[in-house]
Structure 1
Amino acid sequence: MDHPSKTVSESRTVMTDLVFPPDTNHLHTIFGGKVMAHVDKIACIAAMRHCRRAVVTVSSDSFDFLAPIKTGEAINLEAYVTWVHKTSMEVFVKVESENLLTAERRLTARAYLTFIALDDEGKPTAVPQVIPETDEEKSQYEHAEERYHIRKKRRAEKVH
């Protein structure tokens, strides 16, 4: 079955949530695992929007925590498909904190995740190619194949 290409913007997903005390540690900043769960969820949605199939997470790499998010701040996430291989998709996620009283925003985390699309029998299936449009999307697209080969090499080393 032929899959028409899709633009990056067709997968773009945005999510905002408020950070409450149960979401935080003894320093009153959000648990890293909570941020990672948000990242995996929004990346999954972006991947499914791109291929309109069930997907599974294959890897999460380049997950960098850059700044904390405090109780009472908003966590803002943005995700989109940056590149595809045959059955896999690389999804970029950007996480920001937002002080809702001052409007100050800070970049707090970035991550690349890889998802595989599944057919109705749960087997990997082909996904549409992705078309980058903005300068940022084009830059990520140009470097994605290199990230793909680094992930592939890392996985091969862990198997042996």
Structure 2
Amino acid sequence: MAIEEPRSIDDRIADAETRIFKAVFPSTTNHYDTLFGGTALQLMDEVAFIAATRFSRKRMVTVSSDKINFTKSIPAGTIIELVGRVDYVGNTSIRIAVEIFVEEMYSMERHQAIHGTFTFVALDEDKKPVRIV
């Protein structure tokens, strides 16, 4: 059995980056045929949760979301990419920056549409905060 050397924080941050792709179907859009803001927030929280868990390998819960900027609308019939990256690591908390990029299905056009941050806390079996690293 090989013994693994401890991984550096920088390596763990790089390895925790999480990317998810989704198609924007009409069932997820509002009366303007653009992605519901609440659906975007749900997807962002999900990718942030995965990135936080991949970094910490602990039970994580969302404690806040900060400064979610909706800079471009996301129309039905496009592809979105959600990217979650570790932004800050504390003792028991971690902040994940999330961006949503929108891509036209039939062209090379791509731009950032939404970005924001989500903070998570690591919990033990008794739901008490526990050190992340």
Alignment TM-score, normalising by the size of structure 1: 0.76
Out of 68, 71, 95, which is 1:66 matched to? 71
1:35 aligns with 2:40: yes
**Greater strand proportion:** 2
Q: For 1:10 and 1:37, locate their aligned partners in 2 and report how far apart those are by CA, in whole Å.
A: 23
SS in 2 for 1:123: coil
1:6 aligns with 2:28: no
1:22 aligns with 2:27: yes
Over the matched positions of the two proteins, sequence identity in percent amounts to 36
SS in 2 for 1:82: strand
Report the RMSD for the aligned CA atoms in angstroms. 1.3
Q: For 1:62 and 1:10, locate their aligned partners in 2 and report how far apart those are by CA, in whole Å.
A: 25
Deviation at 1:4, TM superposition (A): 5.8
Out of 90, 114, 118, which is 1:113 matched to? 118
**Greater helix proportion:** 1
1:5/1:120 Cα in 2 relative to 1: closer, same or farther (>3 Å)?
farther
Q: For 1:6 and 1:17, locate their aligned partners in 2 and report how far apart those are by CA, in whole Å.
A: 30
Number of matched pairs: 126
Deviations 1:69-118 (A, max 9, x none): 11110111000111111100010001110001002111101101100011
2:3 is aligned to none
Q: For 1:4 and 1:57, locate their aligned partners in 2 and report how far apart those are by CA, in whole Å.
A: 25
SS in 1 for 2:35: coil
Q: State how 1:91-130 maps to structure 2 within 5 Å.
A: 91-128=96-133
SS in 2 for 1:30: coil
Q: State how 1:82-97 maps to structure 2 within 5 Å.
A: 82-97=87-102
After TM superposition, which residue ranges in structure 1, 4 or more long, deviate above 3 angstroms?
Answer: none
Q: For 2:80 and 2:7, locate their aligned partners in 1 and report how far apart those are by CA, in whole Å.
A: 34
Alignment TM-score, normalising by the size of structure 2: 0.90
SS in 1 for 2:19: strand
Q: For 1:105 and 1:24, locate their aligned partners in 2 and report how far apart those are by CA, in whole Å.
A: 19
SS in 1 for 2:14: helix
Deviation at 1:5, TM superposition (A): 4.2
